[in-house]
């Protein structure tokens, strides 16, 4: 019977069996057959499992006590299938640091209860990797198996295929239901897995802090993202990066950690059946609303594009729809990232989510000033992952997904539900050259259609998101051309703080007086400049005021077209313009403080303050005390307003390495 406290159901009572383990292919050794294993029946254990781990492909009564469990769980090697069992490596010391309040709320977790030692919740131990929850499948009770695992995937990195990659330092713990959705909780930085390749399976403190806070910040500003639940410091665990650095573990969660790279792996191995099973798994568990064509009302495809490429609506299959869904989700996330100036820094196919989530945060940045040629990754010399190239890079990744799916989207709906299709997937028959060409031709059409859908979805989301930030309540056809594009040109030339510009604009009254003269717009322009501002690197103050003023006139005329009222516009736009933006220079301050204090004392209060600001970035001037707390007001002031008073160009547009 489930324990409850004021109707609260504890974490351990809400753990669900892993859908991945019970649905997809176990990752046995690709070159050497796996020896038999058996699962220890206890539900909660320390990491010392001896030699017994599960293998659903082997008789559960078989036990090989001579097999080295360490080799099976942690030795890097080439593997087949979709996942492999793994466990966190034991560390000498663990120090729990912080949990995200937003994440706790979204998972319906009560931290006070979970941290109460009298309740034996093991929350700190679970989110750090000290203890692992697992259970054996039971045919009598119909319960499914749960054991920690790591995903197998491949990927194109910087445009080049890199072969098998996989979760090299990630262990997926279990599925957790929040009352509405299932989420997969995982540990990042918990040690070697079978997919660690040449790496050590560790994550250093600085990169863990960055990932924890940016995950929660992106979610808070409305960019679909994987999430971060908790951060644990490993004070006696070191990793060799630029030098010897101390490590940490981040507990992350998402509805799915599947990515384009999972398809890349199966396609690389010509595993048609694996591609079919993975696609069916995704449709059933993440896109259950997708159905085969038949009726126009049931398809998400633009009929105009289907007609253009001579595909009938009744011939659209659920695999076509799945591909389109993944394309559109990524188009929306990419557009929102562009509007808010978020740059991932490394957008390979192995971190392009099938749900369109921002994920795997390395050398990312929130852009300090608008520069389409900026990349936050200092190793990205060709700017493949720079601002300008991001939309086309994501589409390039999605074309790779289309190529992976040729054997599915190359068939129309009638063929997909036929026995001939099943026989082809299971390689019982082989098609002649003409049929192969027809498959490729149809798949190419679907990819071309999805490219047009990607462009439409991107531009629609991009334009509307800018309207939201500007407080434009009505959509007009030429907004991008006449308002948004000139605004970005102005921001490029003036080098104003990118996100601060929108925030300040959301407090600017245009209609408080009827004076439409030159002086009005000059005064409004001056109010958008930092206090004490004299000049930028390349322009005088007067020149900058003139450029801003000219755009403000354009914006003012656009506002009049929709009969805008200051109050309505300001209230609307303030919902989309954060007061706080975690620039890289702020991350560096927080990381330096944690290193200096060894994650003790005042640095813990800094982390708490930083968390409150990242989780509540839209805090208004009149309510900030409640959401950001009363302590460390000087930090709050510096992180929000320092660049308004004293612009330090050496702090702006900081780049990072891929080292993490």
Provide block-wise average pLDDT over 10 residues at a time, the chain (660 residues).
Answer: 63 85 57 30 33 34 41 76 87 97 97 86 91 68 70 94 94 92 96 90 97 99 99 96 94 98 94 91 93 64 96 94 98 99 97 98 96 94 95 98 96 86 76 85 97 98 99 97 98 94 95 80 92 74 95 97 96 96 97 97 97 91 70 89 74 85
Residue 637 annotated as catalytic: no
Helix, strand, coil fractions of the chain, as percent rounded to 5: 45, 15, 40
Residue 658's pLDDT is 79
Q: Report which DSSP code applies to 149.
A: E
In 3-state terms, what secondary structure has residue 296? Answer: helix
Task: Report the pLDDT value the prediction gives residue 622, as an integer from 0 to 100.
Answer: 57
Burial class (CB in 10 A: 0-12, 13-18, 19+), 535: exposed
Phi, psi dihedrals of residue 151, rounded to the nearest 5°: -80, 150
The DSSP-derived string for 489-524 is HHHHHH--BHHHHHHHHTT--SSSS---SHHHHHHH
pLDDT value at residue 101:
97
Residue 187: what are its φ and ψ, rounded to 5°? -105, 130
- pLDDT given for residue 66 in this prediction: 37
**Are the C-beta atoms of residues 380 and 386 closer than 8 Å to each other?**
yes
Across the strands, what pairs with 240?
Answer: 244
335, 303 contact by CB (below 8 A): no
| Residue 603 host element (H or E) | helix 602-615
Residues in the chain: 660
| CA nearest to 232, candidates 504, 632, 594 | 594
Q: Which of 27, 167, 350, 360 is catalytic?
A: 350
Any residues with CB less than 8 A from the CB of 226 and at least 6 apart, and which? 215, 252, 253, 254, 257, 353, 357, 358, 359, 360
* pLDDT value of position 137: 59
Do the Cβ atoms of 617 and 623 come closer than 8 Å? no
Least Cα distance to 260 among 157, 393, 397 occurs for 397
H and E: helices and strands count for the chain: 25, 14
Beta-bridged to residue 342, according to DSSP, are: 366
Q: Which two tokens stand for residue 22?
A: 């019970």
**Alpha carbon distance 551, 462 (integer Å):** 19
Q: Is 63 exposed, middle or buried (0-12, 13-18, 19+ CB in 10 A)?
A: middle
Phi, psi of 234 (to 5 degrees): -115, 85
Q: Dihedrals φ, ψ of 498, to 5°?
A: -60, -60
Whole-angstrom distance, CA of residue 189 vs CA of residue 251 = 9
Residues pairing with 160 in the sheet: 157
Q: Where are the domains of the chain?
A: 15-257, 262-466, 472-574, 584-651
């Amino acid at each position: 019977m489930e324990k409850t406290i004021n109707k609260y159901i504890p974490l351990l009572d809400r753990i669900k069996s892993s859908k991945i383990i019970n649905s997809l292919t176990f990752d046995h050794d690709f070159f050497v057959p796996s020896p038999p294993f058996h699962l220890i029946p206890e539900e909660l254990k320390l990491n010392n499992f001896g030699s017994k781990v599960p293998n659903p492909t082997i008789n559960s009564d078989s036990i090989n006590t001579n097999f080295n469990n360490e080799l099976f769980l942690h030795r890097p090697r080439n593997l087949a299938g979709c996942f492999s069992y793994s466990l966190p490596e034991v560390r000498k010391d663990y120090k729990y640091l912080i949990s995200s309040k937003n994440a706790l709320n979204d998972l319906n977790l009560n931290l006070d209860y979970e941290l109460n030692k009298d309740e034996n919740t093991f929350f700190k131990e679970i989110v750090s990797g000290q203890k692992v929850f697992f259970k054996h499948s039971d045919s009598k009770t119909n319960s499914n198996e749960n054991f920690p695992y790591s995903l197998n995937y491949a990927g194109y990195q910087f445009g080049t295929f890199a072969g098998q990659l996989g979760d090299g330092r990630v262990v997926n713990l279990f599925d957790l239901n929040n009352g509405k959705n299932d989420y997969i909780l995982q540990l990042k930085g918990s040690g070697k897995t079978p997919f660690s390749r040449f790496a050590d399976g560790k994550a250093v403190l600085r990169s863990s802090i960055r990932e924890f806070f940016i995950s929660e910040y992106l979610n808070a500003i409305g960019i679909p993202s994987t999430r971060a639940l908790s951060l644990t410091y490993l004070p006696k665990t070191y990793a060799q990066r630029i030098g010897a650095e101390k490590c940490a573990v981040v507990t992350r969660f998402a509805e799915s950690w599947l990515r384009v790279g999972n398809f890349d792996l199966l396609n690389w191995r010509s595993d048609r059946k694996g591609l079919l099973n993975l696609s069916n798994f995704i449709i059933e568990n993440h896109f259950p609303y997708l159905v085969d064509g038949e009726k126009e009302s049931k398809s998400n495809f633009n009929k105009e594009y289907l007609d253009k490429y001579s595909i009938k609506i009744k011939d659209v299959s659920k695999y076509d729809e799945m591909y389109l869904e993944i394309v559109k989700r990524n188009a929306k996330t990419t557009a929102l990232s562009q509007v808010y100036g978020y740059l991932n820094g490394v957008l390979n196919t192995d971190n392009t989510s099938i749900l369109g989530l921002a994920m795997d945060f390395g050398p990312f940045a929130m852009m300090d000033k608008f520069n389409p040629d900026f990349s936050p990754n200092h190793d990205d010399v060709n700017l493949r992952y720079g601002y300008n190239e991001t939309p086309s890079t994501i589409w390039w990744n999605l074309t790779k997904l289309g190529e992976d799916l040729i054997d599915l989207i190359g068939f129309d709906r009638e063929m997909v539900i036929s026995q001939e299709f099943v026989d082809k997937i299971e390689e019982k028959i082989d098609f002649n050259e003409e049929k192969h060409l027809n498959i490729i031709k149809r798949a190419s059409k679907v990819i071309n259609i999805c490219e047009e859908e990607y462009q439409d979805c991107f531009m629609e989301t991009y334009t509307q998101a800018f309207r939201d930030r500007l407080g434009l309540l009505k959509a007009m056809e030429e907004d991008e051309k006449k308002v948004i594009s000139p605004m970005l040109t102005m921001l490029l030339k003036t080098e104003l703080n990118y996100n601060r510009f929108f925030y300040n604009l959301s407090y600017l009254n245009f209609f408080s007086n009827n004076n439409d003269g030159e002086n009005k717009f000059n005064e409004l322009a001056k109010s958008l400049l930092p206090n004490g501002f004299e000049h930028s690197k390349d322009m005088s103050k007067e020149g900058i005021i003139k450029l801003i003023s000219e755009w403000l006139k354009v914006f003012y005329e656009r506002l009049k077209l929709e009969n805008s009222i200051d109050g309505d516009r300001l209230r609307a736009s303030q919902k989309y313009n954060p007061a706080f933006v975690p620039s890289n220079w702020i991350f560096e301050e927080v990381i330096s403080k944690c290193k200096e204090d060894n994650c003790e004392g005042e640095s813990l209060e800094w982390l708490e303050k930083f968390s409150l600001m990242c989780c509540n970035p839209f805090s208004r001037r009149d309510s900030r005390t409640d959401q950001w707390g009363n302590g460390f007001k000087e930090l709050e002031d510096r992180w929000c307003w320092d660049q308004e008073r004293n612009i330090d160009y050496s702090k702006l547009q900081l780049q990072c390495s891929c080292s993490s």
